[in-house]
Structure 1
């Protein structure tokens, strides 16, 4: 539960940007092209994706707690860069730093919970972890929308992020304990789920297995990437779309908060559900639901339709997000599970960068609804690929 609280603070640190930065790009820095405005998500996604990989490797080598504390230390300058940044380049640089911090902190809370709970409740643990993180994102997105409407886009919203970082660092240093030895205990009784997933693999072999060779691991990796591709679109272009339709900052803040709120709260149910019915059905259904929600955003034109769409998008993402992480934990051997999680998160958070670039280019050329429609089609295709390629019974029955 301490790690759940820490990850809520990790999510809050990210949530300080969700409502504000898309508006900051246009209203303060006068960025007209969507591709230019989305550079901060591209920078965040590349930095976080790369750091996820190293977080897994460093956690295996040095332990989980040192990586977690380092992530909080890296985050310290972010709110001040966002508050005082005189140019858009400062905002992009702040998101590089934030991406590094998020890669270290969020990845480590995932690994530590996997270490602690064992295989039978892995979905429940991932649901708790991701629910805490995205409820933190949602609550902060909503709070910063109201703060900005009263006090302006800077500095008020980012002072909340500074407080989260201070508390998260204090908790991680003073109260969090190392969990790596639990993975060693689990490894002694581990029964491989698939052939080729034995203990003695090099980092290169783990990368190729997770990314390409294993049908289940690679299916999960591509689905994670597409999921965050559409989240990058939602983060960067939804507030711009809503503002262009005449919605107030308060209403934009509500829509920006409802999506991760449903996503976060829903994972309290879907994570545990995947322990019972398996990972594959929830992943496939979740990707299809997301695609339908994105299609609603593309054709919608008012607050009511968009509210229904973001609720549906949050529900679909809740079905997928903890389930994908649990599926990685099911297949990966405890000796290299942290590395496999890091590689999955490399692909998944690389989706932020791909989504920002792809949706920005399409939006510049054809408008935001066209960009949303293309991403909806990609999301549906990803779900179909999981249905065809992923093995069916990937929840652990053998300890």
Structure 2
């Protein structure tokens, strides 16, 4: 495939690809909104309409989502390298079509779990693909900024939609009003993806042709012809930066999965209203989303490692504040701090993968990293549910705080700094 998709030569960078980049940011906001429509509502639906009280059982829908999304991430990376980015994006949105309708008409909790399996496929295929496409477009020089904008759009939309869904639920009931948002998001995303998104694999080939080895010799063994199995091994275990990023991503989403299933129930113990619970839940992804506008670009200036280490430590501290809290004020402070810690980590981890992975197998490396990261949803939901059933809601938060602190220590010891500004000079 020639690195040309139009009559004009392709160029790397944010400015020459601004129109497509902005379009992909908008589509990723719709991806995030699909999650936000249900986060405030489903735990409350489980208790009020289906009478589910066992935390582990309630959290099964988060586990189903996380496992399915993790698997879909792998196929998103593999298929986007093999067949192109745009087809994977379109297929991912087709899986979203039934989800809002299933949640509106669900007669039992099994339908909710099934809907979240489809949602996991949607999220894995679409979010992974928009990540890879943005990395393709901007090249190495602005990788952190690109990931900051991408993740800010996605999780900003999670926050806004969570808040809006909570308001709609309080005004009009838990069903169907909140889930009508998902129907609208899916229709808009299919229209934009089908008619206006352009294939970006040519930009990845251009990037590969301009690829410059690190001056310190690192990555020399990671040439462009690695097999899928070798890429999985390097990203998961062998390569220090890639594998450190994978474990930190898993722990980060362990916290998110725990919060998704547990925080609304924890907040409800203080007899807060649905709107207050929605506001508390929106604070976490809201600060997370806005913060990434700063942290992604900051990692292009000061490097990746210290932001990741500090971010995981900040998450640990935030969870301690939440575990100690017993009302709106303390929980608001804790969730905002948790969002800040996550903002330091989330786009920076993706930038690490882009720094280390060769453009020829970048899509697959992103997919493997996101497999590990999104398994955190399931681990957090199941672990949190079991501990909450055995020891209480606060105990589950304390355990997550300890795991986050350990993750920060692993990054501090094992990860090296991956950002090399001087290696990004050739931009074409």
TM-score of the aligned structures, taking structure 2 as reference length: 0.92
1:181 to 196, 202, 220: 202
Moved over 3 A (4+): 393-397
Report the Cα offset of residue 191 of structure 1.
2.3
2:110 paired residue number: 89
CA RMSD of aligned residues (A): 0.8
Q: Does 1:277 align with 2:298?
A: no
2:123 paired residue number: 102
Q: Which stretch of the first structure deviates more once superposed, 374-383 or 387-396?
A: 387-396
Give me the whole-angstrom Cα distance separating, in 2, the residues matched to 1:107 and 1:59.
Answer: 9
Give me the whole-angstrom Cα distance separating, in 1, the residues matched to 2:119 and 2:377.
Answer: 13
1:286 paired residue number: 311
Q: Does 1:53 align with 2:74?
A: yes
After TM superposition, the structure 1 = structure 2 runs for residues 143-182 of structure 1, keeping only pairs within 5 Å, are 143-182=164-203
Unaligned runs of 5+ in 1: none
Give me the whole-angstrom Cα distance separating, in 2, the residues matched to 1:19 and 1:364.
Answer: 21
Q: Check conservation: 1:69, 1:172, Cα contact below 8 A.
A: yes
Q: Does 1:247 align with 2:268?
A: no
Q: Check conservation: 2:232, 2:368, Cα contact below 8 A.
A: yes
2:6 paired residue number: none
Q: Does 1:256 align with 2:281?
A: yes
Report the Cα offset of residue 154 of structure 1.
0.5
1:119-138 deviation digits (Å, cap 9, x = unpaired): 01000000000000001100
- SS of match in other structure, 1:149: helix
2:324 paired residue number: 299
Report the Cα offset of residue 258 of structure 1.
1.1
TM-score of the aligned structures, taking structure 1 as reference length: 0.99
1:35 paired residue number: 56
Give me the whole-angstrom Cα distance separating, in 1, the residues matched to 2:50 and 2:413.
Answer: 46
Report the Cα offset of residue 161 of structure 1.
1.0
- SS of match in other structure, 1:191: coil
After TM superposition, the structure 1 = structure 2 runs for residues 1-150 of structure 1, keeping only pairs within 5 Å, are 1-150=22-171
2:291 paired residue number: 266
Q: Check conservation: 1:15, 1:141, Cα contact below 8 A.
A: yes
Report the Cα offset of residue 192 of structure 1.
3.6
Give me the whole-angstrom Cα distance separating, in 2, the residues matched to 1:373 and 1:54.
Answer: 34
Give me the whole-angstrom Cα distance separating, in 1, the residues matched to 2:112 and 2:127.
Answer: 21
Q: Check conservation: 1:330, 1:396, Cα contact below 8 A.
A: no
Report the Cα offset of residue 394 of structure 1.
3.4
Give me the whole-angstrom Cα distance separating, in 1, the residues matched to 2:321 and 2:267.
Answer: 13
- SS of match in other structure, 1:398: helix
Give the aligned length: 399
Report the Cα offset of residue 395 of structure 1.
4.3
Report the Cα offset of residue 338 of structure 1.
0.4
Give me the whole-angstrom Cα distance separating, in 2, the residues matched to 1:395 and 1:156.
Answer: 49
1:34-65 deviation digits (Å, cap 9, x = unpaired): 00000000000000000000000000111000
Give me the whole-angstrom Cα distance separating, in 1, the residues matched to 2:370 and 2:420.
Answer: 19
Give me the whole-angstrom Cα distance separating, in 1, the residues matched to 2:135 and 2:419.
Answer: 16
Give me the whole-angstrom Cα distance separating, in 1, the residues matched to 2:346 and 2:50.
Answer: 34
Give me the whole-angstrom Cα distance separating, in 2, the residues matched to 1:220 and 1:373.
Answer: 23
Give me the whole-angstrom Cα distance separating, in 2, the residues matched to 1:189 and 1:72.
Answer: 33
After TM superposition, the structure 1 = structure 2 runs for residues 229-378 of structure 1, keeping only pairs within 5 Å, are 229-378=254-403
Task: Determine which structure has more spread, i.e. the larger CA radius of gyration.
Answer: 2
Q: Check conservation: 2:23, 2:197, Cα contact below 8 A.
A: yes
Give me the whole-angstrom Cα distance separating, in 2, the residues matched to 1:260 and 1:30.
Answer: 28
Q: Does 1:390 align with 2:403?
A: no
- SS of match in other structure, 1:335: helix
1:290-309 deviation digits (Å, cap 9, x = unpaired): 00001111110010010011
1:165-205 deviation digits (Å, cap 9, x = unpaired): 11011100011000001000010121244232211100000
Give me the whole-angstrom Cα distance separating, in 2, the residues matched to 1:128 and 1:142.
Answer: 21
Unaligned runs of 5+ in 2: 1-21
